[in-house]
Structure 1
Amino acid sequence: MFSLLLLISLLLGILLVREYLRRRHAFAKDLPVAARIKEILGVDYGMIGLTDEQRFDILSRMFGKYDRFFQIWVGPTIVLGVSHPDLMQKVLAHTDCLQKAFFYDFVGFEHGVFSAKYDLWKGQRKALNPTFNLRILNSFVPIFVTCCQKLVGEMHQVKEGDTIDMFKYTSKCALEMVCGTTLGSDVLNRDGKDAFLKHLEDIFGFISRRMLGIHLYFDAVYKLTPSYRKEMYARKECVVFASKIVQEKKEAFRLTQKTGSTQVSNDSDERYEYKKPQIFIDQLFSMSDNSRAFTDEEILHNVFVMLVAGNDTSGLAVAHASLFLAMYQDIQEKVYPEIIEHFPTENTPVTAESLKLLVYTDMFIKEVLRHCPVAPSIARTNIKDIELDGINIPAGNIFTFNFWVLHRRKDVWGPKAYKFDPDNFLPERCRDRNPNAYMPFSTGARNCLGARYAMISVKVMLIYILRNFRLHTEIKHEDIKYKFGMTLKMSTQHSIQLEKRCKS
């Protein structure tokens, strides 16, 4: 008798859950449904066991198939894939769609601006926006220059004709830049810096794979896996390394404030104050004193955000750019003369303003970011009901967007959308194009905070690389494969051969 009652209760529970889900998803009944890959009892488990390259290809094909938006089943719920540029803009810019989807919780560092919940993010973002204004970015340029001088010095040690993985060089340079602008250049000399970077990379690798491993969404299941133990170890090591630095910086800042000694030189005029680097962590400490108070935990988490985002964004962008220059020698021979025209020697001053003279180089970088957007896909949750394409979508639904596919839409970019062509960003072409078709740093209020930082650091790196080397590669554009992840990474190395340029 008990067994019968238990069975009836179980069946009743299943029916109630199915009815709840049917009503919850009723709004999407007329939306096209992405085909399930492998299914058991209504759960799509097709992403389990696939390589990161296969996952990237499957998601890209999904978004390429549907013109406006569609539904993807993830276990017992749906995710709304938004593919049309106008709909993407509407959702991403909507004030009720600024919450990140639940699987960003896997990132941790939840007290930082990247993965914070909406209420916390709103206050932090408002306070942090001024930390990346043009004056402060201009003050970072000398740090960028110093790091680039070190970069090309290391590249000159490579035997001519040897093949290098360009990302190893640009990633290190980008990390040194972001350490210098976030924590101060002295961090670069610390023991454990290389291990810290490796641990950060491991953490975000585990996170990316968990996002598409539906069975790993449950903490109880994930904690049983080797990945969990490795991730927790990497997180512990990162926190130990960074916490010590943050505490030291905090004590130094407090001492400076107490003594009134705010300068590192005897030059006390306003010109020095204007030009000296405005280190990010010092800005956080200043805010805690003067405006929005950042807790120690918020400061630590935001430092992590800047280190990871700055390193991956700039380092990857320059590695991708170098590879495209090496593949397309005709484009390299347009970018290089422009750089030499405006920045002929290391004695030529580099500023955020003078970088605007690189018109064709800017077009080239934009085309690189069209082909290789910083984050190939992102997801949001609506915190209130919204209307999209005439459909009322209840609060709590997940939207996902794929910029890699958006940037290859033939109805926007023409029949040669897959071709690499910097002329796509000529003024006359941009004038007639849908303004929502290009989102390399996302869009709306929750876009990439460091977009301008990235563009400036990328240009400075390219100036130094091309002024010293001609780049070659045997890789063909059509052979490039990408991996699913939070940032766009290739499945192979950025293999490049260096040819030293003759100094005139």
Structure 2
Amino acid sequence: MFFLLLLLSLFLGALLIREYLRRKYAFAKDLPVAERTKEIFGIEYGLVGMTDEQRFDIVNKVFRDNDRLFQIWVGPVVLLGVSHPDLIQKVLAHTDCLQKPFFYDFVGFEHGIFSAKYDLWKGQRKALNPTFNLRILNSFVPIFVTCCRKLVDEMHQVKEGETIDMFKYTSKCALEMICGTTLGSDALNRDGKDAFLSHLEEIFGYISRRMLGMHLHLDVIYKLTPSYRKEMHARKESVIFASKIVQEKKEAFRLAQQTKTTPVSNDSDPEAEDYKKPQIFIDQLLSMSDNSRAFTDEEILHNVFVMLVAGNDTSGLAVAHASLFLAMYQNIQEKVYTEIIEHFPTEDVPVTAESLKLLVYTEMFIKEVLRHCPVAPNIARQNMKPIELDGINIPAGNVFIFTFWTLHRRKDIWGPNAYEFDPDNFLPERCRDRNPNAYMPFSTGARNCLGARYAMISVKVMLIYILRNFRLHTEIRHEDIKYKFGMTLKMNIHHSIQLEKRKS
């Protein structure tokens, strides 16, 4: 009898939940509903238990099948899928859609710009925008060059024809670049640096897997898993390493203030010595704390971590993807190489943010890489106030999902060959008549990627050094590649490349 009463209670409870959800999402009743894979009492649970590749294929099929605004049921929650480029632009540029949903909280470092809530983010973003101006980015180029020299030196240790996973090399180089420009070049020579970089990658992996697992969203459940304990250990060790550097930088800044030797930033005189020095990110944060917006110790530390994690998976992944496409398409590799040799034939030719603009075809190639492989293929936003979209009045607190991978392959915009790799897609005459909202490799709107220009410059410098030294080959075909669903776009295979040393 007790068992029957329990079953009846569960059944009635499920019906009540279903009715509550029906009323909560009544505003969306006329919107198309993404095809459900599995459900019980109207609640979708099909994504549970799938592989990352299966999730990726299903999500992108859903976005291909729905042209504008539609519903996606994930467990008991409705997400609003946004497919059309004009609607994507409208939401991402909307001043009431600058909040990030709850699952960004898993990133931690909630006092940093990436996952901060709107009120904190707004002040930080305004203060941080100048830290990535062109003068400062140009000051980073010598650090990029140093890291790239080390990269090709390591690649030269590989035996001729041996297959390597290119991402292992580009990821390390990108991490060293971001470490050098965020914490200073001395961070690259410290004991424990390699373990620190490894811990950063480990943390990001746990974050991505948690975002994809609904059963891990509740803290009370996640804290029971081995992943939680491993993530906390990695966080602890990486925080110890970074905190020590932060404290040393703060002490040096304090002493410089006392002795009046703190260099004064000169934004107008290119001959000034300070103008030419690398404008290290943590030094800028400390300077802001003294002169303008007061960054707390916690905000400084969290923003340092944001830059370290984001920088790796932006530049490191982009160059790994680019190297694979170059190896697959030898004719394109030859065009990029020829242009690089024309403008940067040897180490004697200085690389600057300005001179990199000469690489016109190379930039078209990189843009095509990012069209096929946007580093962050899926993002989400939450509206803080009611908004109207496609004639639908959407209450505050709803979550919008965007998939740039699918957006970048719309045949109605990119043509019948949208799935083919062709840098000529970015010829001026082709871009002129294309929907300006059809290409968003770094998102758009006020909460877009702060480091977009940083990424483009660092990617170009890495490609210059790689292609000046090596010809790239691979047995992988474009059609062999599948992708995994996650915060960043990872392939289901290694970036397997064979190196052929170029004759000097």
The alpha-carbon deviation at position 7 of structure 1 amounts to 9.9
Whether 1:306 aligns to 2:331 is no
Q: CA 1:344/1:34 → structure 2, altered by over 3 Å: closer, same or farther?
A: same
Amino acid at match of 2:254: R
Aligned partners of 1:174 and 1:310 also within 8 Å = yes
What letter corresponds to residue 359 of structure 1 in structure 2?
A: V
Indicate whether 1:468 and 2:443 are aligned: no
- In 2, Cα distance between the equivalents of 1:467 and 1:263? 37
Distance 1:472 1:383, change over 3 A: same
Give the letter for the 1:387 counterpart: E
Q: What SS does the corresponding residue of 1:100 show, helix, strand or coil?
A: coil
Distance in 2 separating the partners of 1:210 and 1:71: 23
Establish whether residue 240 from structure 1 lines up as the match of residue 232 from structure 2. Answer: no
Q: Is the counterpart of residue 138 in structure 1 residue 138 in structure 2? A: yes
- Between the aligned partners of 1:55 and 1:38, the Cα distance in structure 2 is 13
Rate the CA distance shift 1:9–1:167 in 2: closer, same or farther, 3 A.
closer
Q: CA deviation at 1:17?
A: 4.4
Distance 1:9 1:165 in 2: 55
Deviation at 1:198, TM superposition (A): 2.1
Q: Which residue of 2 aligns with 1:53?
A: 53
CA contact (8 A) 2:60 2:403 kept: yes
In 1: Cα distance, 2:191 partner to 2:56 partner: 36
Q: CA deviation digits over 1:415-449, x for unaligned, max 9?
A: 00000000000000000100000000000000000
Shift of 1:197: 2.0
Aligned to 1:277: 278
Are 2:18 and 2:42, in contact at CA under 8 Å, matched by a contact in 1? no
SS of the aligned residue for 1:470 comes to strand
Give the secondary-structure state (helix, strand or coil) at the position aligned to 1:254: helix
**2:323 partner amino acid:** S
Matched, 1:327 2:319: no
RMSD, aligned α-carbons = 2.1
Q: Is the 8 A contact 2:288 2:295 kept in 1?
A: yes
Q: What is aligned with 1:440?
A: 441
Per-residue CA deviation, residues 318-356 of structure 1 (Å, 9 max, x unaligned), is 111111111000001111111111111101011111000
Does 2:495 align with 1:487? no
> Which residue of structure 1 aligns with residue 391 of structure 2?
390
Give runs of aligned pairs for residues 86-485 of structure 1, distance below 5 A: 86-262=86-262, 270-485=271-486
1:220 deviates by 1.3
Q: Counterpart amino acid of 1:425?
A: F
Pair 1:65–1:3, CA change in 2 (3 A): closer
Cα contact 1:45–1:214 (8 A) shared by 2: no
- Matched letter for residue 53 of structure 1: E
Distance in structure 2 (CA, Å) of the matches to 1:232 and 1:36: 35
Question: Could you tell me which amino acid in structure 2 is paired with residue 364 of structure 1?
Answer: F
Q: Which moved more, 1:4-13 or 1:121-130?
A: 4-13
Structure 2 letter corresponding to 1:495: S
Mapped to 2, the partners of 1:485 and 1:93 lie a distance apart of 23
Q: Are residue 80 (structure 1) and residue 92 (structure 2) matched?
A: no
Q: What does the per-residue CA deviation read over 1:394-419, in whole Å, with 9 as the maximum and x for residues that have no partner?
A: 00000000001110111110000000
The answer on whether the counterparts of 2:204 and 2:309 sit within 8 Å (CA) in structure 1 is no
Between 250-259 and 172-181, report the one with greater CA deviation.
250-259
Report which stretch shifted further, 468-477 or 69-78: 69-78
1:376-408 residue CA offsets vs partner (Å, 9 max, x unmatched): 100110000001111110000000000011101
- Find the aligned partners of 2:319 and 2:4 in 1 and give their Cα distance: 65
Give CA-to-partner distance per residue, 1:229-250, whole Å, 9 cap, x none: 2222222222122111211111
- The answer for unaligned runs of 5 or more in structure 2 is none
Letter matched to residue 50 of structure 2: L
How far the C-alpha of 1:490 sits from its partner, in A, is 1.2
- Say which is worse superposed, 16-25 or 160-169, in terms of deviation: 16-25
Output the amino acid matched with 1:91.
V
> Secondary structure of 1:99's partner?
coil
Q: CA-to-partner distance for each residue in 1:282-320, whole Å, 9 max, x for gaps?
A: 000011001111111111100000001111100111111
Give secondary structure in 2 for the equivalent of 1:439.
Answer: coil
Please give the TM-score of this superposition, normalised by the length of structure 2: 0.95
Partners in 2 of 1:347 and 1:250 — Cα distance? 37
* Cα 1:14/1:190, change in 2 over 3 Å: same
List gaps (5 residues or longer) in structure 1: none
Q: Distance in 2 between matches of 1:155 and 1:221?
A: 43
Contact 1:375 1:488 in 2 (8 A): yes
Counterparts of 2:317 and 2:255, CA distance in 1? 38
Give how far 1:3 is off.
Answer: 12
Percent pairwise identity = 84
Residue 43 of structure 1, CA deviation: 2.9
Contact 1:385-1:395 at 8 Å conserved across structures = yes
The letter of the residue matching 2:500 is E
- In the aligned structure 1, how far is the partner of 2:17 from the partner of 2:493? 45
String of CA shifts for 1:25-66, please: whole Å, max 9, x gaps: 111111111122222333322222222222211211111111
CA distance in 1, matches of 2:11, 2:501: 73
User: What is the distance in 2 between the residues matched to 1:495 and 1:404?
Assistant: 22
Distance in 1, Cα, partners of 2:3 & 2:476: 65
* Kept after mapping to 2: 8 A contact 1:205/1:485: no
Shift of 1:10: 7.9
Amino acid at match of 1:185: S
Give the letter for the 1:380 counterpart.
R
The offset of 1:70, in angstroms, is 1.0
The 1:262/1:160 distance shift into structure 2, 3 A limit, reads farther
Post-superposition offset of 1:74: 1.6
C-alpha deviations, 1:213-232, integer Å up to 9, x for none?
22222111222222222222
Query: By how many angstroms is 1:11 displaced?
Result: 7.8
Letter in 2 for 1:137: L
| Corresponding letter in the other structure for 1:149 | R
Answer yes or no: is the 8 Å Cα contact 1:148–1:460 preserved in 2: yes
| Counterpart Cα distance in 2 of 1:188 and 1:385 | 48
Closer/same/farther in 2, CA of residues 254 and 479 from structure 1, 3 Å limit: same
Q: 2:327, 2:473 within 8 Å by CA — same for their partners in 1?
A: yes
CA distance in 1, matches of 2:324, 2:389: 39
CA shift, 1:12, in A, is 7.5
Q: Identify the range of structure 1 (271-280 vs 35-44) with the bigger mean alpha-carbon deviation.
A: 35-44
Cα distance change, pair 41–235 in 1 and its aligned pair in 2 (3 A): farther
Paired with 2:330 and 2:15, the residues of 1 have a C-alpha distance of 63
Is the Cα contact below 8 Å between 1:376 and 1:487 reproduced in 2? Answer: yes
Partner SS for 1:172: helix
- Residue 396 of structure 1 aligns with an amino acid whose one-letter code is G
Query: How much does 1:6 deviate?
Result: 10
Shift in CA distance, 28/270, structure 1 to aligned 2, threshold 3 Å: same
Distance 1:60 1:15 in 2: 31
Mapped contact 1:182–1:279 kept (Cα < 8 A): yes
